[in-house]
Structure 1
Amino acid sequence: MDDYPLLNFFWTMLWFFLWVMWFFLLFKVITDIFRDHTLGGWGKAGWLVLVLVLPFLGILVYLIARGRSMRERDLKQAEEQQARFRSYVQQTAGSGGGAADELHKLSALKDKGDISQEEFDRAKARILA
């Protein structure tokens, strides 16, 4: 460890994290190129060639030219995922929510003494079946 000072270690880690961030950005841009439905096949091929042949310049130009629409596509995808999640939760909760409400009403009727334990058990079995 004496032949590799702490400052050099930090410098190496900085370059490593910049390298990782660079690949993250590269994959993000390539994903956005293919996700964009308004861009035609030749446009996608052109951007992809530019990004892969001249990566630093290509990504810089792509972010300058299409950065705003990239953000809008990200927001649109997040909203669609949120809507699908809400729909799934509502569908799942809706299928069990009716049974829970009915069981609660039955329990209240049993607690008030309006129905017997046997009637409660039969109705409960019918609801849960």
Structure 2
Amino acid sequence: MSFWDVVWFIIIGYAFVAYLILLFSIIHDLFRDRDVSGFAKAVWVLGLILLPLLTALVYVIVRGQGMARRAVARAEEQERQRDEYIRQVAGRPAPASPTDQIAQARALFDAGAISQSEYEALKSKALV
């Protein structure tokens, strides 16, 4: 076995692993996309079986941007769910929006619990 045989083996191995990663990414994206019908999914999978490289290239060209958007949306949703879970477990409510903070300060002012200057201070703090 010569040096160039080893180099060629490494190049082919890298290309094969990269192709497998691409293939599993396509299948993962395809089956998580609710906008694609079952028939279209079956056609894509059949194409990936019969003409794998060509179908993978066509999929990336045709649906690549949507693939990235769906991945970002999934990551953001998972992060939102994780943050919500952490708040729930920690016993802390979600932070109030500025509108809610101003409404709470107004309710306190109307009830006479705080003065006009305190209300203005809470309002300016909420708006910052």
- Which TM-score tier does this pair reach, normalised by the shorter chain? 0.5 to 0.7
Q: Which residue of 1 aligns with 2:82?
A: 85
2:65 is equivalent to residue 64 of structure 1: no
TM-score normalized with structure 1 length: 0.66
Q: CA RMSD of the aligned region, Å?
A: 1.3
Q: Hey, what's the Cα distance between the residues in 2 that align with 1:86 and 1:67? A: 29
Range with greater deviation from structure 2 (65-74 or 83-92): 83-92
Report what 1:75 is aligned to: 72
Describe the superposition over 1:17-44 as per-residue Cα deviations: whole angstroms up to 9, x where unpaired: 1111111111110111111100111111
> CA offsets per residue over residues 65-123 of structure 1, 9 Å max, x none?
1111111110111011101111111112227xxxxxxxxxxxxxxxxxxxxxxxxxxxx
| Structure 1: 4+ residue segments shifted above 6 A | none
The structure with more radius of gyration: 1
For 1:24, the aligned partner's letter is: I
Q: Which amino acid aligns with 1:60?
A: L
Which residue matches 1:119? none
Any gaps of 5 or more consecutive residues in structure 1?
A: 96-129
* Structure 2 portions without partners, runs of 5+: 93-128
SS at match of 2:20: helix
Q: Normalization by structure 2: what TM-score?
A: 0.67
